Structure 1
Amino acid sequence: MAEDNNEEKNKALDRPREFHVTPAPPYPTAYYYPAEEEPHLRDYLNVILRRKWIVITFLIAVVTTVTIFTFFAKPQYKATAMIKIDKENPNILAFKDVVALERTEEDYYQTQYKILKSRNLSKRVIRSLRLDMNPEFVPNPGKKENKGDANANLILELNKPLEDNGLSTGIVDTFISRVEVSPVQKSRLVNVSFTSFNPELSAKVVNAIADSFITLNLESKFEATTQASEWLQKQLEVMKAKVEQAEEKLNEYAAKNEIIFLNEGQGEKGQSTDSDNIITKKLSELSTALTEATSERISKEAIYREIISGDSESSSVVMNNPLITSLQKDYAAHESEYNQQLKTYKPDYPKMVKLREYINQIKKKIDQETKKVVTSIRKDYDAAVKREGYLKSAFEAQKREALNLNQRSIQYLILKREADTNKELYNGLLQRLKETGVSASLTASNIQILDRAEVPKSPFKPKKRLNIMLSIIVGLLGGIGIAFFTEYLDNTIKTPEDIDKRVFLPSLGLVPHYPDNKDNLPVEYIAHGASRSPIAEAYNSIRTFLLLSTGGKPPKVMVITSPARDEGKTTTAINTAISFTKADAKVVVIDADMRKPRLHKIFNLDNSTGLSAYLSGN
């Protein structure tokens, strides 16, 4: 019985069958856009590990280069002197320095720091120590310099233009570049340093800078005092002429406008103390009264508008009237009694008629009293408006009278202030001229040397340990940076995660690389010839994923494609088909490559009729 069934199945398989090609149902999970995840520390570590040879190569290159330069560099020595700079605020005289233009303390110290590195001070030190003849600054033109010498570039200084005193500009620039000024925080101390290849020379130059700085400070003070005296003398003559001219104009104006009383009756601010004060006081009183009247008018206007804009009986003013309040209570009580009696008597009952008449009388009294209150409020509002208008007219008239008085005396006050100001300036200049002449002979330096420079015992540069440590740090950081930049430029796909991030497609599986000619087994038959190999297991996993991908009915038609050539489309199609046949599935593999088909070569089949012929109906 079983044999008959097998024979029938084989015959059925041998019969030619017709296949109707229908579009495959869409794959429900073909495309998806995963939410962007924040990178973790593990992701950064993976990038560094993948590009570790870039990091190591860059690190070795940087450390090697820095080490060579560090150990072959010529030692440099730094000497430091500490000086104290007090603020220029002389205690000998009450007179302030006439040259200072109200500069702040911070500006003053910043100026002194710039002077320490100025060209004028540098040239003084160069001349005093004859550094223009020192080989360190001016190498011997006839001597051949070593190519690696740190001072070889100083030969070019001879070709640079000369300063006014004959010194080379390059020598001065080189000297200034070696001077270092470091203020001590929260103090008036400053450290002055100089770097040289000769330890004795570095100490000698720093001490010379400090001495020359004090000398330059004293000379500049004396020169400034002399110039200030000459300038004050010229300004004094000009100011004297201005004082005479201002007093002459003042007297002419006073006589012409007959305002002599201002000379004797002026107050502290230049105003007269008689009628002027009375007018001003009256103007102030009118202003206060006008303000109060305006406020009162606004208040009464608000009450009046409240009454005329709505129900007068419900306004706050009417409701606060004692008589109206009493009548309203009486009205409400009898109205309530009337409504209560309606439950027993009819409206035309004599008692009810009498009660209704009494209620109407109360209502009439309420209306009469309300009209009285409204009339009273209207009268108060009209009176407030009239009072405000009267005070406003009086205030304007008083203001015009005050302005007329001020107009007559304003020009006189201007001329008087000008004359007084010129007198004060003249007296001040005269006093300063006298003090400047005295202070010229009492000039004292506000700068002193606290610690002179000593000959350094050890070189300042190069700092071998620090340089090597920094080179390691820079090498690591630079290598890591290059590694991340290389990773950023690399857009190839290496892991399933790359597919999720860049293509937004689900990953079916990962097939290991199979070297060519390994075990003399073609890669197209690896799932059949080496069924227990990792590659075969990978294709089996892909088959399982495809069978379970739709949750219900497995997909019937699958297309295997890739964006470029020679990426394993044919190999994947054949091995996937082999994996399905192992699961007792019947598979038809169609070669849809119209340019370079390979399936007929792999299976040794005739390629005269293919997919293109079927689609065209041939």
Structure 2
Amino acid sequence: MHAPMQDRIDADINEIDLARLGRVLLVKKWWVLGPTLAAFLVSFLFVNLVKPRYTSDARLLLENQDSFYARVDNGERVDANGPDAEGVQSQIQLLTSRDLARRAIKKIGLQGDVEFDPLANGVGPVTRLMALVGLVRDPTLMPPEERILEKFSERLSVLSPTKTRVLSIEFTSYNPDLAARGANAVAEAYIEMQQEAKREIARSAAQSLATLISDLRTRVAEAEAKVEKYRAETGLLIGSNNTIVPTQQLGELNNQLSSARAAHADSQAKASLLRDMLRQNRIAEIPDIASNESLRRIFEQIVALRAQLALESRTLLPMHPRIKELDAQLADLERQWRAAAERAAHTLENEARIAAARVENLTRVLNDQKRVAGAAGAEEVKLRDLERAARLLKEQLESETAKYQEAVARERVKATPADARIIQRALAPQVPSFPKKVPIVLFATLAGLILSLGVIVAGELLTGRARVLPPALSAAQPAPAAVAPDRREPIFARQESDAPKDKEPPKKASWRATPVVARRISPARAIEGCVKVLVAPCSETGPRAETAVSLARQLAGQGRALLAAADPGAAMFDALVSPGSERRPCGMGELARGSAGYGDAIHRDKSSTLHVLPGGVADGAGMGDHALLVTALAHAYDYLIFAASADEALRLAPHVDLAFVLGEDEAAEALREDLAEIGVEAHLLDASACGDLAA
């Protein structure tokens, strides 16, 4: 682990001795109680000796007060609720303005009041001296409202509750009645200012509108005169349907032409139908023939003769004179019948020819009228422009006249509605707003207690007497963090059996982690996501490799751990994953060449939950990018233990957190120093401890 990690681990281990702090506070209790009692007495005297102040508040509701009948509907949308958030803040600025304060001061009559008027008790010598040298203005030369204005503004505050259009006007004074009168006076002065502002706006609007209306009347008269003059010059007189005469005549001719065409078509159809019926000898079915009284009598005679002829034919022969007479009479009646039908057909044909002539005549007249109407079209366009201009001026005149009448009405009405109303008038308060005795005494006492406790605790922390180290360090040195830990302290210590030696044979020593392991590896695990440990030199089987295995198996009980042979081709961990097998397991060598993945190169320890990455088969391949390998493994494990030779340890050192050098000779010390120069935290583990741990 690097030097910054060492500092973080030391800061994490050093704890505060709460028991010692409690004893120190008990010893120095009077240093705590004294300031606390003093704060209590001072605050108690303050709240009882200071002159109380009273605060009264009046409330205004901002809303549109225009009545429905007084408002002119000009198409504009009026917000009946009142202003938005920005408008509320603007009204607050108006309530705290100097002009409104002067009105309120005059309304209350604060001139000569001892609380607000500096000249109520006369001008003191200090004030005269400061006015003489020009530091302050001479109060005697100032208007009464100006003298009182500063003190009045300090006692006035205007607030608006969140998401409301309500303004709370608060006024503070030593006199509760004066506090109520001050708040009410400010609210009333605000309403009066708004009413005056509206009347002034109406007065200015009426003056400007009067001039505009006079000008508009002249322009409207001129525009209407131009319209009438142009209509008279061009002859574009208005007819009954509010249209010009040529256009109206054109419409009438078009209607007559349509009627004539309909009549011609009707007559022509009837004549054609009558001719067809005559050819088919269906004269009796012709509507005009059937409805004619004379023809109907002829038809009745024909029917009677036919009946008589049939009766006479029963007794007489066809050549009988009576039969011939009857036949002659019947033929004469049929000729009359057919002649009447022919005359009706000729009549209908004549009507069709007359209708056709009328259609032709109307068509010629309509074409002539079209030319007349077309000639008048351009002149009518110009006439419409003149009429439109006159109409717009007239509408503008009517609109401005309505506004003028409204402005005049608002100017003359004294009770002009303001855009606010008083919803709560101020009353004389019964309880002072300052001082609040119980809260002030309580907070002052607590502040004295907390400050005195903080001073004592801070002193103990700054001197270091309130911090304590773990027992392993406190037994070795009296002051924590005063001496650096011994780099040669063994990591594993022998733990003998508790049984007496003369009663049972000695057992093999079991190994436990010394406090250095807990002080180095466990805090590093709390800080880092994965702790990377290097054990070197460890390039062959034996006690050194077994030391790395023992350390890795202990860490596997605390989290996910991986024991890796950093040297490709090293056989030190083959027996852990494939005992008794002659075939070398896949490992670091294949991973370095890229012939195997992480899932193929990592194996499970047969005796524990430890994962093992053996050396594999090197075939001359060396390690590639150590950073990529260590980063990939750190995402999957909590602890990474690399067993490496001295050369491989120096290449791997920049990527690990802790390094344990096995041995106590000069070569081991030199390796530890080389690792420390690289920046890794390195410790020595003596060889005797390695042998016992392996056993």
TM value normalised by structure 2: 0.38
Larger fraction in strand: 2
Larger Rg, first or second structure (1 or 2): 2
Which structure's relative contact order is higher, taking Cα pairs within 8 Å and 6+ residues apart?
Answer: 1
Q: Normalised by the size of structure 1, how large is the TM-score? A: 0.41
